[in-house]
Structure 1
Amino acid sequence: MGRRPTRAADPAISPDPTPFREARRAQTEISFENQSLLGALFGQFDANLVQVENRLGVFIHARGDRIMIEGPEDAVARARDTLTTMYDRLAMGQDLDAGAIESLIAMSNEPTLEGIISGEREEPPIMIRTRRKTIVPRSATQITYMRSLVRDDIIFALGPAGTGKTYIAVAQAVSQLISGSVQRLILSRPAVEAGEKLGFLPGDMKDKVDPYLRPLYDALNDCMPPEQVERRIASGEIEIAPIAFMRGRTLADAFVILDEAQNTTKEQMKMFLTRFGQNSRMVVCGDPRQIDIPGGERMSGLADAVSKLEGIEGFGTIRFTAADVVRHPIVGRIVEAYEGPDA
């Protein structure tokens, strides 16, 4: 397979070896039936194995279809579960990149990792299938979120950027639109400036507003071929519009997503939630710590709605933290730094 890279010596990446010398040592061996998947499992120059080694402080030795893991007892168990789940994902035809591996390593400390993808579970695997990709959970909170998306009528998804709040909601919406369980997909955002002014942007009102809705277009294009997105927008099956365009409507047979909801006023949020119609689902996404409207949390429609509606039947509330960030690991560190005691 080529020369294997050396393990990282950077203490910011490699675990502190001192507690490992004191920890109880263990050794385990696992094997995999489908040898054609081993190249993707190990990665180029065994990079995937090295990533698991560096993050968990274990030694992994591969020979044929067998992998020997050695190290502290708890770390060996986590490495075994991580590698097994990596293999299960590949066996189901799913992609495996550094970000997915990082998420599986993080989840290996959670009791929810076992069987997330494994076909041996009695319950069906937790995933969302779209035309372009299959989305699987990358954190324990995402598992809870995906379950809420198929169970609750209105879901509040709260937390920092990079946790998958909007992306997973769009994927679920696309999945239901494709299956025919809803007839429309409606995506909305408040057009609130974060330091810039709409008036300085060129073009007409649509040109001024579209940049604020760009993240929604990006998520759609990730789940559906762009030509299908354009065709469904032209036909009205998919609608992307500022929240002001929701007034006076009843949104029936629709999957409705409100993004950046922390920037709605109390009046806007009440107006939006009361648009709910028959055979619909609403997802309200926002970061309560990133409010750009005057008055901050005191005037935020998101904070007000959660305080009034949390716990009522039909409503689900999912709270993400910096530990759930699934972008580059440094994004999680940035979020933690800005949410620390000195923030």
Structure 2
Amino acid sequence: MGVEITYQGNMFKVVGKPLNSVAASDVLKNLYIETQVAPKHKNKVKATELLPDHVHLAIQGSKLLDQSTDHYGDEIVIRTRKGNIKPRNENQMDYVQNVLNHDITFGIGPAGTGKTYLAVACAVDALERQEVRRILLTRPAVEAGEKLGFLPGDLSQKIDPYLRPLYDALFEMLGFEKVERLIERNVIEVAPLAYMRGRTLNDAFIILDESQNTTVEQMKMFLTRIGFNSKAVVTGDITQVDLPRGAKSGLRHSIEVLGDVDDISFNFFKADDVVRHPVVAKVVRAYEKHDEEFRRKKAAQDAEREAKKQEALNTEKTNSSVNNSESND
């Protein structure tokens, strides 16, 4: 963060550029707050252990100040039954703001950038505020080469593993028992994408996860399910498509077709936005570098192949002209 921190007893001294010093001071204050759990009884506060992950995420969140001063002082807080959730960086903050202000929001980027987690948090917040009457979470049922017919169990048992990340986010924000009750009352519905066909969804917050594995037809079907007073968030990673060879990703197609449509927001995350273990960001960057080199080599090979093809055509035309000239002689 470009600052020097010293301490004596319970007093900290932060030395550095003004903006960086303010950011570092905020990190220290936030970390102190995180060590305190809301008291169950008056005047009793229980201390909690400060883990390396807490420090890493707090420092990463401070990048808001490094990237832009426009948002400094603005605070977006998503409130859930189990606590408040704050965006950790500028892209996350813009993403949440767009979810709140647009009917359809796309969150596109690598794993670990918080796309799905923040979308579920916004959905839970909207439900708690009674802005919507239900939450629908869906994703394509076939991924990573596994077809449902080859998995053991009935349909429910086959589908559950694919929807587990969505369940996990709900459990963390609402608690297991609360989620179970809401599912029983159909206030929360977690289902494969095929179950959306033929429905019009009013007063609902709808999330389509892993959307890179939808076909063009499935994506169109999903987006046309949205009814009055409903909001949709579509998340995915266009570098992780598991569709059969030759099938075009509905997510990639929607970027091309819907980019200029009003009330639709597209948010693109990068490796720098990863909020998991620091090594995850390094993994993402390594793959991005490899993919970029592959695209560059392929483009060079295509250009070389085209040049040779053109050279062969020119040679053929030259030989044809010479032969015609000799025939005339």
Report the CA distance between 1:83 and its aligned residue. Answer: 2.3
Partner of 2:58: 101
Overall identity of the aligned pairs, in %: 47
Question: Residue 76 of structure 2 aligns to a residue in which SS?
Answer: coil
Partner of 2:272: 323
**TM-score normalised per structure 1:** 0.75
Q: Superposed, which structure 2 residues align to 1:1-343 within 5 Å?
A: 56=1, 58-63=3-8, 66-70=11-15, 74=17, 77-87=19-29, 97-112=54-69, 115=72, 121=73, 125-295=75-245, 299-340=248-289, 341-342=292-293
CA distance in 1 between partners of 2:69 and 2:150 (Å):
48
Report the CA distance between 1:206 and its aligned residue. Answer: 1.1
Partner of 1:36: none
Question: Residue 138 of structure 1 aligns to a residue in which SS?
Answer: coil
Counterpart amino acid of residue 57 in structure 2: A
CA distance in 2 between partners of 1:226 and 1:100 (Å):
25
CA distance in 2 between partners of 1:335 and 1:113 (Å):
28
Report the CA distance between 1:88 and its aligned residue. Answer: 5.2
Q: Is the 8 A contact 1:188 1:242 kept in 2?
A: yes
Give the unaligned 5+ runs of structure 1. Answer: 1-55, 116-120
Higher mean alpha-carbon deviation, 84-93 vs 178-187, is at: 84-93
CA distance in 2 between partners of 1:270 and 1:302 (Å):
10
**TM-score normalised per structure 2:** 0.78
Question: Residue 235 of structure 2 aligns to a residue in which SS?
Answer: strand
Counterpart amino acid of residue 181 in structure 2: R
Q: Is the 8 A contact 2:139 2:208 kept in 1?
A: yes
Q: Is the 8 A contact 1:82 1:108 kept in 2?
A: no
Structure having the higher Rg: 2
CA distance in 2 between partners of 1:215 and 1:163 (Å):
14
CA distance in 2 between partners of 1:127 and 1:67 (Å):
27
Partner of 1:118: none
Cα deviations by residue, 1:249-283 (Å, 9 ceiling, x for unpaired) = 00100000000000000000000000010000000
Cα deviations by residue, 1:132-160 (Å, 9 ceiling, x for unpaired) = 12110111100101111110000011000
Q: 1:105 and 1:135, CA in 2 relative to 1: closer, same or farther beyond 3 A?
A: same
CA distance in 2 between partners of 1:210 and 1:316 (Å):
30
Report the CA distance between 1:295 and its aligned residue. Answer: 3.5
Question: Residue 222 of structure 2 aligns to a residue in which SS?
Answer: helix
Report the CA distance between 1:82 and its aligned residue. Answer: 2.6
RMSD: 2.3
Report the CA distance between 1:112 and its aligned residue. Answer: 4.5
Q: Is the 8 A contact 1:79 1:105 kept in 2?
A: no
Counterpart amino acid of residue 269 in structure 1: M
Counterpart amino acid of residue 183 in structure 1: R
Question: Residue 206 of structure 2 aligns to a residue in which SS?
Answer: strand
CA distance in 2 between partners of 1:160 and 1:332 (Å):
9
Question: Residue 228 of structure 2 aligns to a residue in which SS?
Answer: coil
Cα deviations by residue, 1:204-258 (Å, 9 ceiling, x for unpaired) = 0111111000000001111101101000000000000000000000010000000
